[in-house]
Structure 1
């Protein structure tokens, strides 16, 4: 039954996803053996030669790769997260040895220590050299591997900034170690999940860890937790992965109707224009990716400016729109509105005329811009 569920789940994501997996055999000196990798590159990876991408490493790649890769492809298609490179490590025959820890210090031991070094000292350098990876790197694990991914968190400068920890079978002191580390960590995303029908011992330990984490006060770290009702140790994976990606990439998403109503329209100490600039500067810092400001985000901000009649903000907004989208009429439309509302009709008319010569965008058409010009001429008898 479990295998059937995962087969259907995998097929759904395979159909959804446009990108196809690349299969590679990687020879490891640390492990003295080859490991099978599954790699999904973003759509148009080969065309966007100057673009870099976050890296998501998936342990238990033999069954966990497809749901992660499918969600990443789907979310990035709708711009709810950046396009990312997903790499799965198959462990069907080796996962217990790969995740082995000693019974004294409860740290990676024997094959577990070798696997830890393989990821940090061999695999990641290879991926960074071979593919265009960004600064942001995320690792995903489930039960045994869900415990194992935490060992990377304990390094002084963790090589992963995001951890998706699905129903982990925690080592005895792991909860305390995680809590202590995340109490002082900065720029770390940590997602933890269990379910009401999870294995009882796992659920108990995970809930206890969440209780410890609720007491942590650290604004430099982002922590997310889910306890899914009526899901099992296996089915929670399908619900947890999208929730984890939503949490980690919350700042990346377009300005929503809720943000427009509850944030942009109620700003007091800053302006909608400053909010827009800060939003994109923050996402660049967090995710290591510089991106063009979305047209829809410009429209949300300009609508808030018009609603509150803060006309002076339209001038910097227009200049920014010209910089970000120079081939469209968007920026000149905002400049035209600014001049019109501040009593400079001739400048407004020239701005609309300049915009008329450029490409249409969103609600702006050549007829609309021409109407703006003719209306000014009519009002002033020109």
Structure 2
């Protein structure tokens, strides 16, 4: 286990070596001082002039920026999440004042209020204007700052859709406030983590919040919780960051065997619509229009065949021809559709058209020719 963790961290540092951080001093009117920022832009950011990227704000940037930026670069390199812009806010000397809240209403006060306005009214607008950011914006914090990021959640129209709360030192009413807010919110991704060796009060409050969230029935909220064995208040950070990215960007990754078994096979609505909606949703969230993966076409078509939803193969075939016009995949689906709906001549023509295109996955020219010859044999043509 230790060797695999060491290897993963080595890979992260090697991969992230190609994405250099930009160090910038940002003058804040709200704070009446300058704040040091660390900014990591995606690879080939300058070349991909039409591409937009999710924005990830990292508080406690002094020590939290590098592990977040490294994981983001590593995951995006392997296409397990979209490339993203990562911005760390250094708080080494100011974090307690930045996260200050009053002891009556337990809301940001004094320097805490100013820091809240700095993030929402100055920093985020500046980053959106300066860089090509997508609609999805995520904020990350640890203990004090993990409590603080929740104040953005309480706004009527939160500027952040994703919250990564690593061992938050929650203010007294936060358990109730967060669960109540999430129960009536939509399109929010919320990751929460503690550990067996975390501080006792933090661990209790975090577990209480998780228990509260188990009572919430809201399909528009994506809530994830980890309680790491044998980790401390500090070491859980190294485990929580990749877990948070994995869970938040699950929809971005290829359809897995688990999703196939637990979602696609028992799906009562259209399997074809599931595929289309999945890519539409990721485009809206991440601002990235992606070519539909061959793997995802195959997973969906296999579920369609298993459930004998033959009518869905026609739109699937047309979509595959549009997405991958040089490959035989689309004509194979159209051929299957015509075969199963009693139109053998059209099926044979579709397989013949596919025979002329590039092989893909299990589909070969010999396989397509066999399909044509089998139809001819069955009907004596």
> Structure 2 stretches of 5 or more lacking a match?
1-5
Q: Does 1:75 align with 2:68?
A: no
The answer to whether the 8 A contact 1:14-1:66 is kept is no
Shift of 1:10: 6.8
Q: After TM superposition, list the pairs within 5 Å mapping 1:135-214 onto structure 2.
A: 135-214=135-214
Contact 1:10 1:66 in 2 (8 A): no
Q: Distance in 1 between matches of 2:71 and 2:344?
A: 50
Deviates more, 1:192-201 or 1:371-380: 371-380
Q: How many residues of Structure 1 are paired with residues of Structure 2 in the alignment? A: 375
Once the two structures are superposed, the pairs formed by residues 39-188 of structure 1 within 5 Å of their partners are 39-188=39-188
> Hey, what's the Cα distance between the residues in 1 that align with 2:257 and 2:134?
30
- Work out the CA distance in 2 between the residues paired with 1:179 and 1:158: 16
Partner of 2:334 in structure 1? Answer: 335
Q: Does 2:297 correspond to 1:298? A: yes
Which position in structure 1 is the counterpart of 2:3?
none
Question: Hey, what does 1:311 align to over in structure 2?
Answer: 310
Q: 1:106 to 1:261 in 2, by over 3 A?
A: closer
Q: Are the counterparts in 2 of residues 22 and 38 from structure 1 also a CA contact under 8 Å?
A: yes
Q: Describe the SS at the equivalent of 1:179.
A: helix
Q: Secondary structure in 2 aligned to 1:263?
A: helix
* Partners of 2:53 and 2:286 within 8 A in 1: no
Matched residue, 1:322: 321
Q: Deviations over 1:293-323 (max 9, x none)?
A: 2110101112223334443322111001112
By how many angstroms is 1:9 displaced?
8.9
Q: Distance in 2 between matches of 1:298 and 1:203?
A: 43
TM-score, with structure 2 as normaliser: 0.88
- Would the aligned equivalents of 2:332 and 2:350 in 1 still touch at CA under 8 Å? yes
My pick for the range that moved more, 7-16 or 123-132, is 7-16
SS of the residue 2:276 aligns to: helix
Q: What's the CA shift for 1:58?
A: 0.6
Cα distance in structure 1, aligned partners of 2:305 and 2:217: 39
The answer (yes or no) to whether the contact 1:24–1:36 under 8 Å persists in 2 is: yes
> 1:330–1:89: structure 2 CA closer, same or farther, 3 Å change rule?
same
Q: Give the direction of change, closer, same or farther, for the CA distance of 1:176–1:304 in structure 2 (3 Å limit).
A: closer
SS at match of 1:266: coil
Assess if the C-alpha contact under 8 Å between 1:79 and 1:254 holds in 2. Answer: no
The correspondence of residues 222-233 of structure 1 with structure 2, limited to 5 A, is 222-233=222-233
Cα shift readout 1:256-292 (whole Å, capped 9, x = no counterpart)? 112223333333x324223322333344455554433
Counterpart CA distance in 2 for 1:308 and 1:180 is: 40
Map 1:279-294 to 2 at 5 A. Answer: 279-287=278-286, 289-294=288-293
- The 2-side partners of 1:200 and 1:149 are apart by 21
CA change 1:186–1:308 in 2 (3 A) is closer
In the aligned structure 2, how far is the partner of 1:309 from the partner of 1:181?
42
Range 23-32 or range 130-139, more displaced = 23-32
What is the DSSP-based 3-state SS (H/G/I as helix, E as strand, rest coil) of the residue aligned with 1:190?
strand
Distance 1:122 1:302, change over 3 A: same
Q: In 2, Cα distance between the equivalents of 1:263 and 1:175?
A: 31
Which residue of 2 is the match for residue 38 of structure 1? 38
Query: Cα distance, 1:60 vs. partner?
Result: 0.8
Match of 1:136, SS state, is: strand
Instruction: Give the CA deviation at 1:195.
Output: 1.0
Structure 1 unmatched ranges of 5 or more: 1-6
